[in-house]
Amino acid sequence: MQRTRCSFTALFNDIHLPHNCLTTVNPDDTDLTADICGIKVRAPLYINAITGGALSSESVNRRLAMLAKKYALPMAVGSQAAGLKHPGLAFTYRVARKYNPQGVLIANLPAAASLQQARSAVAMLDAQILQLFLNPAQELVMAEGDPLEEGLLDNIAAVCAGISVPVIIKEVGFGIDARAARSLAAAGVSAIDVGGRGGTNFAWIEGRRNPSSWWKPFTSWGLPTPVCVADVVYNGPGIQVLASGGVDDGLRALKCLCLGAAAVGTAGGILRQLRKGFAQADRYLEDYLRQLRVGMALLGVKTLPELAAVPLAVTGRFRELIEQRGIDPLIYAQRGN
Ligand SMILES: Cc1cc2nc3c(=O)[nH]c(=O)nc-3n(C[C@H](O)[C@H](O)[C@H](O)COP(=O)(O)O)c2cc1C
């Protein structure tokens, strides 16, 4: 059994969307047009960073690029560190541009990457956006993880100041809260992808490769995705918030959008389907976007900005956790009145 997920995914069940029995909006009338870092996109969904740098990555990125093109979705490649170190592997990333020449592509590097590396990664793909990822929990659980280095925020600031494309900062599944988001905004990032807990679990993935089991308690480490979104939207620096980490279907996506995310990302969800075959991954994205449209229709909402006024009931653990971050649950319940 592949246990890359965890029970905090259930926090999505603590967010209740209000059914509108008088809706006259049909799914095909909904407008999914979104904005990611100032770039207009046809849907508030992107394929998040997964792979690159191994020979087998070429086929994964090729098929993801074909799907990204078909559904007009932005797509991030996996960390380009290997492609910069070994230029002979650059084709495993470039395939994403080859198969989607007009698409929105997102370059990807660790947040400790230098400005020169960041420029090269963007140039490798002719990318419109750069993602820098934070993954301290992954590194510390990994048997051969890199030590954490001082000066991370200064490095992010140097990259943001010197690069010609907007920078998204992301976590890989342990979450970004409002306090960290304020520091990251001050460093100059354009958007925060909270990359919260509830989906792919790198403590589990990396931990299993350790000879001992000291890491096991850390499989429940991290901040759940919906809590991060609420916290960064309400207590954060006022920059764009993106949601990933277990946002595996269109209804979860809708809940994140109602909490204030501008768009959502999927990595583990699409990858699990792609492993079953291209047709399954294709169907997954078709269903995902359909779920989003039907959900909006049943809320009586045609456009994404209207979601900010949809009243939400929030209960259980999600409610407790946001209250502890100073968010009054009634701000969700009473809005749109
Ligand atoms: C197989 C795999 C490889 C990944 N590699 C990267 C990577 O190279 N760079 C990165 O920023 N995130 C990477 N991620 C993290 C995802 O982009 C995403 O942040 C995380 O998996 C949470 O989203 P999910 O629950 O939809 O999977 C990877 C995820 C998976 C499943």
201 band by pLDDT with thresholds 50, 70 and 90: very high
Say if 153 falls within a structural domain: yes
**pLDDT higher than 80, residue 4:** no
Measured in whole angstroms, how far is the alpha carbon of residue 92 from the centre of its chain? Answer: 22
How many structural domains are present in the chain?
1
Nearest CA to ligand 1 atom 11: 133
Q: What is the pLDDT of residues 18-35, one digit of tens each?
A: 999 999 999 999 999 999
- Pocket test residue of 92, 170, 200 for ligand 1, highest count of atoms within 8 A of CB: 200
Q: How far is the CA of 49 from the centre of ligand 1 (A)?
A: 5
- Tell how far the Cα of 50 is from the centroid of ligand 1, in angstroms: 5
Task: Give percent of the chain above pLDDT 90.
Answer: 95
Q: Which domain holds residue 204?
A: 7-309
Cβ(50) to ligand 1 under 6 A? Answer: yes
Predicted pLDDT of residue 10? 76
Per-residue pLDDT reduced to its tens digit, 66-125: 999 999 999 999 999 999 999 999 999 999 999 999 999 999 999 999 999 999 999 999
| Ligand 1 and 245: CB distance under 6 A | yes
Given this model, what pLDDT does residue 85 score? Answer: 97
pTM (2 d.p.): 0.97
Measured from the CB, is residue 173 less than 6 Å from ligand 1?
Answer: yes
What is the pairing mode between strands 167-171 and 39-41?
unpaired
Distance 274 CA to ligand 1 centre (A): 14
- Note the pLDDT of residue 336: 85
In a domain, 198, yes or no: yes
Using an 8 Å Cβ cutoff, are 79 and 133 in contact?
yes
* Residue 156 located in a structural domain: yes
Q: Indicate whether 244 belongs to any domain.
A: yes
Q: Check which CATH number belongs to the domain holding 240 and give it.
A: 3.20.20.70
Residue 319 falls within a domain, yes or no?
no
| pLDDT at site 216 | 95
Statement: residue 215 has pLDDT above 60? yes
Residue the block writes with tokens 């799914």: 27
Res 7: pLDDT: 54
Ligand 1 binding pocket includes 196 (Cβ within 6 Å): no
Is any ligand 1 atom within 6 A of the Cβ of residue 222?
A: no
DSSP string, 53-96: SSTTHHHHHHHHHHHHHHHT--EE-S-THHHHH-GGGTHHHHHH
- Is 116 within the bounds of a domain? yes
Task: Provide Rg for the chain, Cα atoms.
Answer: 19
* Mean pLDDT of the chain, nearest integer: 96
